[in-house]
Structure 1
Amino acid sequence: MITLNVYTSRIERINKLLNYPIFAAYSKKDEEMLLETTRNMHRIIKYVKIAVALAGVFWPGSLFAKRYQNPKAVVYIYTPFETDSWTGYSFSVLMEVLPIVWIGYGHLAIDCLVAAYYAQAEVQLKIIKYNLEHLFDTDGATDGAQDGQCIAYRDELDRDLRGRFVHYVQRYETVAWYTNEISDVFNYAIFFELFSSSALLCLITFVMSYTPIVSIAFVFYTVMLIVLVIRVFVYCYFGNMVQFQSDSVATSVYLSGWLSVSPRFRRDILIAMLRWSKNITPIVFGIVPLSLDTYVSVLRAAYSLFAVLSTKQ
C-alpha cells in the first residue's frame, strides 16, 4: 500500500502506457495472444481467491476445533469482553481472522497486479517476436521479375516494410522501459514479499512438522503454504518469462526472410539485433533477478531455516 501511495503518478503513467497505440494489436494473431494472456491472468487470480477463501474458512475452523478439544483454549488477542462462553470466543475469533484475511486479500491483489504487469511485458515481446519472424513473408506474389530481369528486394517492393520494422524496434524499447519502470516502482514491495514469504514458509513448515496430520489446523497450514508458494511463484515465473522472450527476439529476426531485403536494410537489422542481444531482465535492488532460479533459491533458504529450527528443537 505504501508503494501505491508513494508512486501514484508513476503507476498511472504505466497504466496509460498500456492503452497507447504502441502496445495495440494490429492483427488477428496479436489479438489472440493478448486475449490468451488476459484469460491466463483471470485464471490465476481466480485460483488465488479460492486459496485465500479456503484459508479464511479453515483458520477459524481450526480455532473452533481447538476450543472444542480444550474448553480453556483462548485466542491470543485483546478483547474488551470475556471469552469463556462460546459466544465471546466466537467474536474473538472473528476479531482475529477477518482483518488478517482482508489484509491477505490486499497483499495478494498487489502480487497479482505486479504479475499482470510482467505478463503484459511478456505478451508484448511475443507479439514483437512473431511479427519480426513473419515481417518479410510474401503473400504469394513474385518478388523478382521474370527471366532476364533484375530481382527486386522486398523493401523496394514494399515501401512500408522499413516503417513496420522501425515500429517493432520502438515497441521493444518501450517494453524495456516499461519493464524497468515496474521493477523500479515495486522494488521494495517485491523484495519484502520474497523475504517475508521465505521466512513464513519456514515457520509454517516448522509448525506443520508437529501438527497432527488429521486435523483442521494441518489443512489450514497446508493451504497457507500453497498461498505463500504462489506468491513467490507469480513474481519469479512472469519475470523469468519476460527474460526468456527477450532472449529470443534476435533469433526470431534471424529465422525470418531477411535475405530478401537490401544490404542497407540488413545493416539496420544487424544494428537492431545487437541491441536485442541484451535481454530484458526484471531485477530487484539491481542484484536479484526475478527468475525461476531465484524461486528455487527462496525455497532453499526457507528449507535451510527450517532445518536450523528443527535442530534447535
Structure 2
Amino acid sequence: MMFFYLKEDVMEIKITLQESSYSIFTGRNILKDIASFYNFSSHKVLIVTDSNIPSEYYSLIKEKINVVDTLILSPGEDSKSFNSYLKIQEKLLEHNFSRKDIVIALGGGVIGDLVGFASSTYKRGLTFINIPTSTLSMIDSSIGGKTAINFNGIKNVIGTFYQPSLVLIDFDLLKSLPQRHFNNGLIEALKAGYIYDPSILDLFSQDINSNLEEIIIKSIIVKKHFVEEDEKEQNIRKILNYGHTFGHGFESLGGFNDSLYHGEAVGLGMLVVSKDKEKLISYLNKLDIKYDFEISSQELIKIILNDKKVDGKYIDLILVDNIGESYIKKTSIEDLVSILEGGLEYVRRFRK
C-alpha cells in the first residue's frame, strides 16, 4: 500500500483517520514555500515559537502569509504550563481569531504540545499547523494529535487529542539545533526501531548524519501505523509509550529541566525494560546521554503511580522480547518495582 509520494524532492505522508486526516510534507528548504502547502488566504495567522528559534524562520513565514502576531515564549519544559497557555489565549482574543483562523507552532515538542492544547480549547478548536524544528518533534511529537501541558510536577497530565491540519517538516531547520537536542530526538527513532521497524537500528549502526532523513521518515511511518490503527490510544497505540513509563519518572526526578531531556529520559526508561540491555547501551552511548541527580526507586514509583496509564493496581507496560515485536503487558505494581530494581544498575552507568 502506498502512503506517500515523492515530487520535486518533497515527500507527502498522509495520516488517514476517521474524523480528521492531514498531510505531513517533508523536504529540504521547503519553509519558503509554505503558502503552497495550505490555503492561508483570508485567514489570520498567529505564530507561537520560543526564543531559541532563529528569527529568520518566522520572518520567512511572515513574508509569505498573513501573520498578525508572533508570540515568543521562553524555551524549555517550564513553558509547557498554564501560564503559557493563557498567553496564547490572550493573543487569540486580542486579535479576535475565529475558528477558521490559524495558529502555527514553530518549535520543538514543548511548543507543539502547548500550541496544540491551546488550539483545541480556544472556541472548542481552531486550525493548528505544526512546523517542528527539532529531531524529537519531527520524529514523534508533531504527529498523532497528542497535546498537553504539565501541572504540579506531573508531565502531560492535562491535555487533549487534537490533530493538526498540516505538518511541515523542513530538514534544514535542524541546522540551528544544538548537538544534545539533536541526539535527544533520535532516541525516539531508536524506540521506533525497537517496537516496529528494525531497519531503523541498522541505520543507527552506520553513520547517523548520513542517514538522518531516512531515519526520520521511517520513524514517521512507524508512528503513522500506530496512530491510524488507534487514534485515541485505547489499545495498540499504547505501544508508542515504550520507555515512557519509567522515562516520565526519570524526567520528573530531574525537575523537567536541562538535567535530563525527554528523549534521554525515554532512553533510560527503555533500558529499564529492555531484554538485551548491553545492545541498547551501545546505541545510547552513540547519543551521549548523561544525567547528574539521585534516582530513588521509591520516589520514582510514587511518580509512576500518578501516571495516566495506571489503572488501579496495574499499569500497561510496553515490552519488546524481539526487536520489532512489541506488546502490552498488564503489570502489577509489585512486578513494576521488581523490574525497576533490576534495571537501575544499568541506568546508573549514565550518571556523570
Normalization by structure 2: what TM-score? 0.20
Greater strand proportion:
2
Greater helix proportion:
1
The structure with the larger Rg is 1
Q: State the structure with bigger RCO (CA 8 A, min sep 6), 1 or 2.
A: 1
Normalization by structure 1: what TM-score? 0.22
